[in-house]
Amino acid sequence: MDIAGLDVTGAAKAILSRSLSPIDLTEHMLGRISRIDPHLKAFVEVLSEQARASAKQADAEIRKGHYRGPLHGIPVAVKELYDIAGVETRSGSRVREHYAARADGAVIRKLRDAGAVLLGTTTTYEFAFGFDAPPTRNAWNLDHIPSGSTGGAAAALAARLCLAAVGSDSGGSIRTPAAANGVAGIKPTVGRVSKAGITVVSWSLDHPAPMGKTVRDLAVLLGVMSGVDPNDPSSRNLPVPDYTKALDGDVRGIRIGVPSNYFFDDVQPAVAHAVGEAVTVLEKLGAAIVPLTVPSMEGIIDSWLAIALAEAATYHQQSLRSKADLYASDVRFLLEAGELTLATTYINAQRVRHAWRSSLRAAMEAVDIMITPTLPNTAMKVGQTLSKIGTKEETVFEVSARFCAPFNLAGFPAASIPCGFAPDRLPIGLQIIGKPFEEEAVLRVGQAFESRTDHHLRVPSISGLSA
């Protein structure tokens, strides 16, 4: 059995049939981490003994017939923003050195209740306030970044050091690393998953979110993570569907909007080709392809940035006064810029946000979902500060946020799944956007595409990473 190649669904079946034990599965992952992660640098802390104890408990429970569901005994990695009882959650910063939560955050508690095995914490940009996860490298090419502040989790998943992962998405940090590392990730509708027990980037832009090898794994994880939480007033008291029931591969009659403006401007030719091929696949499956004009994007990214800066500065206000020297210089600069953001700027940004949300909802009335590239390019090189596509030059922030951040601003659900590879063998992501609280449609389309292609089955072939 190729244990490392299993997804959550496959591992769950093997565990339930007793052909694989959670103990052996966890030991296999820990062994891979010890061999591979010194090169990849995806993990901050490996919780070896805690993981072994959880696996042993899961094995005993399952043997007694107390099976909790498809995450029971499954090794999961956690972005170092989530509170895990007794484990240091530094959020990638010296500011929070030696901070250890007394209790699990909401998502961690739900994962434990589902029987998941927490393997360890993965890297993030300091306080997730950037579009990289240093010192982690991209599993497909160690000269490239994993992209996005959840890059550590994505790289670990791509390198098969875990079977699933959880992270966060404030401006694309689940979707961009999913695209750059050839895995799947979904940012649910804002309010679908509790933010309690997660270090804040921006209260109104943050979305806790899962990553998996397949869309079905996303459906399983999202079902476990979702639900109202009294500790998060922004969480919505709505029924949580069984997302896996939507995964029947049938997209006949589903209306898929393909934007004719903005989202295909200034993209790498390989990206445009891969997304175009994905549209063709979905059309052959019976989906109705509908040309779509998205509302004006003027001011969207600037408004997202104004809100992110102001809310982050508010969260960090006290520690910025007492521990400013412990912040990295670039993050400190952003937080200080946030403190200088005028109230009028913040309020006008919120006005743009409400207008964008309303106009996007109106534009999508004629379709069920919309698809775009996740990123305009493949993963950038380590140390690269500018991306050049044709004659257009953009910073790491600009290229990372351009197609993803608008849907944080709107709060709409959006996923990224693998849809191809560039000539340099780096993965390309397809972004699938749905209407609020219609994650089922996003997952349905993603799984249908995935079932007719093999992009998600490819694994990195870097020396030392495929062992």
Secondary structure string (H, E, C) spanning 16-75: HCCCCCHHHHHHHHHHHHHHHHHHHCCEEEECHHHHHHHHHHHHHHHHCCCCCCCCCCCE
Query: Of 41, 79, 195, 213, which is the active-site residue?
Result: 79
Model confidence band, residue 462 (pLDDT cutoffs 50, 70, 90)? low
Q: What is the mean pLDDT of residues 214-228?
A: 98
Q: Name the band, by pLDDT with cuts 50, 70 and 90, for residue 46.
A: very high
Q: Which residues contact 159 (CB under 8 A, 6 or more apart)?
A: 32, 36, 40, 42, 139, 460, 465
Alpha helices in 64-174 (DSSP H): 106-113, 151-158
Q: Which of 170, 173, 202, 235 is catalytic?
A: 173
Buried b (16+ CB within 10 A) or exposed e, 168-179: bbbbbbbbbbbb
Given a cut of 80, whether residue 466 has pLDDT beyond it is: no
Q: Is the pLDDT of residue 128 over 60?
A: yes
Residue matched to tokens 């090419």: 141
Q: What are phi and psi of 20, to 5 degrees?
A: -145, 135
Q: Read off the tokens for 251.
A: 């997209």
Beta bridge partners of 288: 255
Domains of the chain: 8-299+343-457 (3.90.1300.10)
Q: How far apart are CA 89 and CA 412, in angstroms?
A: 28
| pLDDT surpassing 80 at residue 84 | yes
Threshold 0.85, pTM exceeds = yes
Half-sphere exposure of 86 (CA within 13 A, CB side): 3
Q: Helix, strand, or coil here: 193?
A: strand
Confirm whether 79 is a catalytic residue. yes
For residues 171 and 401, the answer to whether their CB atoms sit within 8 Å is yes
Contact 327, 93 (CB under 8 A): yes
Count, in order, helices (H) and strands (E) of the chain.
15, 13
pLDDT surpasses 60 at 360: yes
Per-residue confidence band for 392, with pLDDT thresholds at 50, 70 and 90: confident
Task: Using alpha carbons, select from 162, 193, 168, 202 the residue that is nearest to residue 79.
Answer: 168
- The distance from CA 380 to its chain's CA centroid, rounded to whole angstroms, is 18
Q: Is the pLDDT of residue 11 over 60?
A: yes
322 in catalytic set: no
- Round to whole Å and give the CA distance between 169 and 198: 12
89, pLDDT greater than 70: yes
For residue 33, pLDDT over 60 is answered with yes
Distance CA 458, CA 420 (A): 10
CA angle 227, 45, 220 (to 5 degrees): 30
Mean pLDDT of 370-379: 98
Please answer whether residues 240 and 224 qualify as being in contact, where contact means their C-beta atoms are separated by less than 8 angstroms: no
The pLDDT of residue 298 is above 80:
yes
Separation CA 268–CA 272 (nearest Å): 6
pLDDT of amino acid 461: 79
Average pLDDT over residues 88-103: 95
**Count of Cβ atoms closer than 10 Å to residue 86 Cβ:** 11
Q: What is the mean pLDDT of the chain?
A: 96
Please answer whether residues 419 and 455 qualify as being in contact, where contact means their C-beta atoms are separated by less than 8 angstroms. yes
Opening angle at CA 361, ends 285 and 284, nearest 5? 10
As a whole-number percent, the residues of the chain with pLDDT over 70 amount to 99
Residue 9 identity (one-letter amino acid): T
Identify the pLDDT of residue 463: 45
Name all contacts of 390-393 with Cβ < 8 Å and 24+ positions apart.
390/266, 392/266
Residue 288 CA to residue 256 CA, distance in Å, equals: 6
Among residues 149, 170, 202, 235, the one annotated as catalytic is 149
- pLDDT for residue 465: 55
Model confidence over 63-79: pLDDT tens digits?
Answer: 999 999 999 999 999 99
Q: Is 173 a catalytic residue?
A: yes
pLDDT over threshold 60, residue 467: no
Residue 79, SS3 per DSSP? strand
**Tens digit of each residue's pLDDT (9 = 90 or more) over 422-450:** 999 999 999 999 999 999 999 999 999 99
